[in-house]
Structure 1
Amino acid sequence: MDFVTHLPKSDRGNVFLLLFQCMFSGFVICKPMSSTTAQEVAEAYMDRVFQRFGASEMIRHDRDPRFMSEVFAKFREMLGSRQRATLAYRPQANGQQERSVQTVIRAVRAYVAEPDQSDWDDQVEKLMWALNTTFDATRLDTPFYLVHGWDPQSTVSAMLGPRPAGVDQRTAYEWRRGFQRQYEYAQAWAKDLQAQAKAKRSEAQTKIWQELSERLKKGFAVGDAVWLYLARVQPGLTKKFAHLWHGPFRILETSDDFRCKLKIEGSGYKLYPGCT
């Protein structure tokens, strides 16, 4: 589990987002919060996780004081769950959760409708359904199916109507056996695919960095289309939901000290056209 902090205050008074994720299936649960005391974290876990799925075998988190507090430790002991804290200042130690945080932030950024970002907590709870029912390229199935063993009925399946009268109905025993075999196969397959994907991801990242390093050595040329990173956002908004990359802009001039002059005219932007 992990926290997303420094969010704009929503209409319901929430400024934090607590995320829970199953490490095996990738199933994500969220809880917008207005405060993050250890007591409230424990209550959120009880409400969103324990009452739906039971106690976790192991709770993995970073070294946030709210997770390391005596209150949360006593709560974990009461449930009989093991606790594992990742290394401090090392996001890679909790990579799956960190990637989930970034996925949620990107999804909310795309769907926030209010200019002041005050509806983010309403959007994030709706997006959890979409993320959990989306096909996972690593596990080759949806997190929802890997947790429940069945696919939820969507609006499309609802429009298809009931089973045609000419199709034979299987017995309950046959259906249960087939269902169990399919479910066990999907879980075993997902576990194997996770290991394969981890190895492929490491190889792909190494290749990307090598290609990027070669590209940067060559530098930029006049006429190239580039994106400009602007870290500043309007007062009252948060960087997490803001679009920080702007463009693309065309390069008009380059200099020996790696500075570039961009074509800003006609783009609607008001900024100094030189960048490094």
Structure 2
Amino acid sequence: MQLNVTSVVNATTVSFIELDQATKKMYQKAYAKDPAYKKIWKTGHASSDYEVQEGLIYLKSEGTVRRLCVPNHRKLRLDVIHNIHDAAHPGVRRTQLAAAQWYFWVTMDIDVKAYVQSCEACMRYKSNTRRKSGKLQPIPIPTACWEVVSTDFITHLPVSDGFDAIMVVVDKLSMRPVCIPTHTTATAEDTAKLFFNNVIRHYGIPSTIISDRDPKFTSKFWKALVSLMKIKAAMTTAHRAQADGQTERQNRTLEDSLRCSISYHGNDWNEYLPMIEYAHATLVSTSSKLSPFFVYTGRQPRNPLLPGGNAEHLTQSRVEHASRFVQQRQQVIERARKNLQDAQEAQKKFYDRRRAEHPFRVGDLALLSTQDLNISHATAETTLRSRKFVPRFIGPHTIQELHGNVAMLDLPANMKILVNASALTSSKWITASLIGSRAESFQVNASDLRRRWGAAARD
């Protein structure tokens, strides 16, 4: 559709949209069928709201521009929005304002919004300004110490006594850390031995181990081991460090403590590790309001710097002392759990203020963010090999499984990953009535896409 602006000079200069003959005939045929404009077009007489110029109906206004009335014809309205939006891909409001300068129909704002929100280029390449999906789902608080533990690694440290990494294990109730020197190249079998010798040997077999998707924890050996020991292996989603925020924070705090203690060369961190671990175990946690040592043992560690070394004197009978000890242990555990519950609720309230419930269901189409994807995967739908102009989203892909905030998408076999709902954006609106025909062009040829993904994986 070719558009021109012409000026008709009367008492004042008034601007009209001028159409090519083919498009003008489409408008006139549509006017004849549209109840809103049928009478005006047939009589050719102006009214208080409309005027007719060369067989086209315009809405009167106080300004010098007469807005062309677009009849209820899907293609005509789609062409108008297409010409305005697809030149520079402005957002919804700017497209609405641009269209309203020259055109008019009652549902214009609704149709423009549907069109812009279904624009494939905008969905793929523009930033998603909506609130991220997926509210916080806190891990249930354990009922006993060392029932649930989380583990992570600090790797690629300066070599100290032959070690260049630290395995950090944290009890989810007491927050007590266990810091184990190890190697960045440690295998799943090495890690299992360290876990048994430093955790299970002292604290028993946990019911659940929370970890990331490090190859050590996804290996067949590790899976077989935890299965034999009846341990549930709970793994966080890729690129979601906050899913196990407790261990991540412990790692940051441990690294900060080491930075403050080690020498200039940093190759003596292993000497300070036991002292730093002990110090962290005796410091009061901001979440539980108790020290990890106190939650686990029911007493404060002896401090020789205090008068009398805060030693307790046994003035009761052994039975009374045992009874009092059990009662105190129960009170300490309940107090720690209550404080952790309060801290979790506060964290959830703060986190959820910037989040929305994800709108996804199994079977929905969703676009996947390329932010954390390998460059070959992120550019598989283009000929680009640089991240600078890579689409912000790829897809759409069908959601096959959905567990809380974690989704499994219908992705190629070489990229079977679990993704968090915050990495997805919905494309459900592509079936809007006005733009139904656009859905066809938006569908990705699955076999062609898989072929391209496979080629990217081989590059």
Could you state the TM-score of these two structures normalised by the residue count of structure 1? 0.68
Task: Describe the SS at the equivalent of 2:209.
Answer: strand
1:75 aligns with 225
Q: For residues 311 and 327 of structure 2, what CA distance do their matches in structure 1 show?
A: 24
Query: What's the CA shift string for 1:49-72, capped at 9, x where partnerless?
Result: 011011111011000001111111
Give how far 1:174 is off.
Answer: 1.2
Query: What's the CA shift string for 1:4-61, capped at 9, x where partnerless?
Result: 1121111x11111100001111010011113411111000001100110111110110
Q: How does 1:1-276 map to 2 (within 5 A)?
A: 1-10=151-160, 12-34=161-183, 35-112=185-262, 114-156=263-305, 159-160=308-309, 169-202=315-348
Q: Identity of paired residues, percent?
A: 23
Query: What's the CA shift string for 1:64-85, capped at 9, x where partnerless?
Result: 0011111112221232211111
Task: Describe the SS at the equivalent of 2:217.
Answer: helix
Cα RMSD (Å):
2.3
Q: For residues 182 and 163 of structure 1, what CA distance do their matches in structure 2 show?
A: 14
Q: For residues 281 and 206 of structure 2, what CA distance do their matches in structure 1 show?
A: 19
- For structure 1, list consecutive stretches of 5 or more residues without a partner in the other structure: 208-276
Q: For residues 283 and 221 of structure 2, what CA distance do their matches in structure 1 show?
A: 36
The alignment of Structure 1 onto Structure 2 pairs a total of residues equal to 203
Rg larger in structure: 2
1:218 aligns with none
Task: Describe the SS at the equivalent of 1:25.
Answer: coil
Moved more, 151-160 or 138-147: 151-160
User: For the Cα contact (< 8 Å) 1:63–1:88, is it kept in 2?
Assistant: yes
Q: For residues 163 and 142 of structure 1, what CA distance do their matches in structure 2 show?
A: 18
Q: For residues 81 and 142 of structure 1, what CA distance do their matches in structure 2 show?
A: 27
- For structure 2, list consecutive stretches of 5 or more residues without a partner in the other structure: 1-150, 354-459
Task: Describe the SS at the equivalent of 1:156.
Answer: coil
Give how far 1:96 is off.
Answer: 1.0
